Structures are given as C-alpha cells and as structure tokens.
Amino acid sequence: MIRFEHVTKRYKGTAKPALSDIDFEIQRGEFVFLVGASGSGKSSCLRLILREDVPSSGRVVALGRDTKTLTTRRTPYFRRHIGAVFQDFRLLQSKTVAQNVAFTLQVIGRSRGFIKQAVPDALERVGLAGMGKRMPHELSGGEQQRVAIARALVNRPQLLLADEPTGNLDPGTSVDIMRILAQVNATGTTVVMATHEATFVDQMQRRVIELSEGVLLRDERHGGYGDTSVVRTLRPETERGAAAIAALTAVLEVQREVTEGSAEAAVDATQRAVDAVEEVVDVIAAPAPAPARPAEAADAAIPPIEPASGDPVAEPVPVAEPDAAAGEQPEDDGADRTPSVPHVPVDELGMADRLGLRPRDDDEVGPTS
C-alpha cells in the first residue's frame, strides 16, 4: 500500500536532509505508528505519501502509484483515497459540523443523495451522531478532532494519515481518539499515525517505525515505544482478517468503478485490488510470529475498543458497500448533483491542492523510469 525506497528528502536552503535513505513498506490493513522527536521527519513522510511533496531521491509508492510519475492533474483523484487529520483539526469555523464533513464531498461533486447518507454515517462512526447542527466552537477539542476524523473518513478512504492527532488533547480525550482510529483500522482502512507520544504506542502494540533526525532508527512489528522486549504480540489472525477485509474492499471498489467510474479509474482500482489480494496471500503464507511473551502479552496487545463514555463508536461499520466505497465520481450522471459550490474557502483549510482547485500544471511532474 505504501513503499518508501531509499527515500531522501532535502528542503531548499537546508544543509541536512529531513529524511535520509528511508526504506519501509506498509501493507494494506496495517496500523503503523510513525514516531520520533519533533523535527525527526514524521510530517515529511506523511507529506510524501500524500504527494504534497516528492522525494529528492528514491521512490515513494502509495496506493500502487509512484508519486513522482503521478501528474498534478491526477493527484486530487489519488488523494480522494486518502483521508488526513492533523493536530490543529482544521475545521471551518463558520460552518456547522455536518457542513464541515460534507464540504469535501461537495467540492468533489458527490451527489446530494450520497452526501445526505454519508455525513450522518461518518458522524456516527466517530461517536457524534446527532451533533451535525453544532458549530465547531461549541465542541470540545476532542469532539472537534472527531469531526475532523469524520471528514477524513466520509469518502471511505483506503488510507488514513494522522499527523499528531492527539497533540492538542488531554490524555483521556486522546484515548478516545485512539479508540476511534483503532476502530477505523479494524474495518480495513490502513492507518498511519505520526506521534511523539509514547503512551499510546505502548498501549496499542502495533507496528512502530521510528525516525531520528531523518534516519530510520527502528521498524518493529507490534513493538512498544522504546521497548524492544515486546515484539510481535499482534495475533496473526487479526492481520489476516484485516488483509482479507482490505482485499474485499478493493474488489468492491473495482465493481463500483466498472459500473460508475471512468475506464482509467477502473484500471487503477483493479491494480489496487490485485495488490490487495497479493497481500492476503503474503500474510497467509508468512510464518506465524511467535509471541514474545505468553498469553497475557497477546491479550494486552490490542486494547478493546469500547464506546468512549457511552459513545457508539464500537459499533462495527459495514465495510465498503459499493455505493459507499471511495472512488472518483463519474462525470456523466449529473442528475442529483449539488450545484457548483460558490465561495469555497479552501484556502482556509489549506486544501486547494488536495481537492484539485489549483491551476493545472501537468508538466511539473514527469514520468520517471
């Protein structure tokens, strides 16, 4: 799903590279922590995955695409399969919760019917059912971050990137956010979360990729933060299940693109499905990891995902009904389409690039061999 091959990133005017010769691969369905001190290169990695930036050397492959060969014109379509949340929530303060969640869908031209169903679904997934009419300033920090997660999930992305999503929250609220991210992952979405906070990483016992000053220090399956004694405590069947669900999601996406999307989108989706199925085969073929510790470690590996103080977040979400699967909106039906969105305050969100609202500049990125 994501592959870094000898990735080095140098920013203009800086002597030291922000990332040096980084190599890792993330499979569909994984939950990965990207950890390291401030300035270690975590956000740079996430920006490379989102193709907000390209490597100075090496290759970043995300969702089956080499980000360097992806044209600027295609980038917004690529990003529709990726949700992103940030430390500072980035909500539109002048819009209600529901409008914030609906906003991206409107900009990409989703139908009213889709939006009407998808927004309450997304709010329910994050435990905010019925809160759509509130304004962001009426919510706590944790609730605002839930809105941001709902917005990131509303188009059913295959991948969720979270850059220090708990950085502005108190520990109790942060745990709620972690539960939601774990739940999102349990439904087949790959999650990559950057954090410098040890607590969650220790508790979650998922894969940890640690950076230090742009160098990959550690890439450990299911390790705790700074604790190398706990390895491989995630039960293999969990991985298999996640891989299988992810493959099913990918296949349903093919179905959807074939019936509703463009030929190019169908080809893209097919490639992703092939990748997903190959990963299932890999996961099944891989030798079962020996637990480093007896049963208690395995039981402690994944904290149960419980509703946070009565919130219905533990309700499993049906995985990718074809209608709800992320994908490009076909250009041909137009019948129930929301009218073009006037006065779109995308700059407020820094989302112009993500949504393809910048002028085309295809020549900027050429194919690489």
Which residues would be at the binding site for ligand ADP (CB under 6 A)?
Answer: 11, 14, 18, 36, 38-44
14's contact among ligand ADP, Mg ion, none, with CB below 5 to 8 A by partner kind, is ligand ADP
- Given a contact cutoff of 8 angstroms between Cβ atoms, the answer to whether 311 and 180 are in contact is no
39's contact among ligand ADP, Mg ion, none, with CB below 5 to 8 A by partner kind, is: ligand ADP
- Pairing between β-strand 65-66 and β-strand 57-62 as defined by DSSP bridges: antiparallel
Amino acid (1-letter code) at residue 233:
T
Q: Looking at beta carbons only, is 199 or 338 nearer to Mg ion?
A: 199
**Which residues, at least 6 apart from 123, have a Cβ–Cβ distance to it below 8 Å?**
97, 98, 101, 129, 130, 131, 132, 147, 150
Q: Which is nearer to ligand ADP, 46 or 252 (CB)?
A: 46
Q: How many residues does the chain have?
A: 369
Chosen from ligand ADP, Mg ion, none, partner binding at 41 (C-beta under 5 to 8 Å by type): ligand ADP
Instruction: Identify what 67 binds: Mg ion, ligand ADP, none; CB under 5 to 8 Å per kind.
Output: none
d(CA 115, CA 19): 39
Query: Which of residues 12 and 137 has its CB atom nearest to ligand ADP in the complex?
Result: 12
- Interacting residue ranges for Mg ion, rule: CB under 5 A: 42-43
Q: Which is nearer to ligand ADP, 210 or 220 (CB)?
A: 210
Give one DSSP letter per residue of 302-325, joined into a string. Answer: S-----GGG-GGGSPPPP--TTTS
Nearest CB to Mg ion, comparing residues 163 and 279: 163
Do residues 99 and 133 lie in contact, with contact meaning Cβ atoms separated by under 8 Å?
no
Task: Find which of Mg ion, ligand ADP, none residue 36 binds, CB within 5 to 8 Å per kind.
Answer: ligand ADP
CB of 353 to ligand ADP, least distance (A): 14
Rounded Cα distance between 44 and 18, Å, is: 7
3-state DSSP assignment of residue 31:
strand
CB of 163 to Mg ion, least distance (A): 6
Q: Which is nearer to ligand ADP, 332 or 364 (CB)?
A: 364
Q: Which CB, 52 or 278, lies closer to Mg ion?
A: 52
CB of 12 to ligand ADP, least distance (A): 7
Rounded-to-integer distance, Cα 138 and Cα 229, Å = 44
SS3 14: coil
- The item of Mg ion, ligand ADP, none sharing an interface with residue 58, based on CB under 5 to 8 Å by kind, is none
Helix (H, G, I), strand (E, B) or coil at 84: strand
Contacts of 73 (CB under 8 A, 6+ apart): 356, 360, 362
Q: From the list Mg ion, ligand ADP, none, which binds 18 (C-beta under 5 to 8 Å, kind-based)?
A: ligand ADP
Minimal distance, residue 81 CB to Mg ion, in Å: 22
Tell the smallest beta-carbon distance from residue 159 to ligand ADP (Å).
18
Quickly count: other Cβ atoms within 10 Å of residue 352's Cβ: 16
CB of 206 to ligand ADP, least distance (A): 18
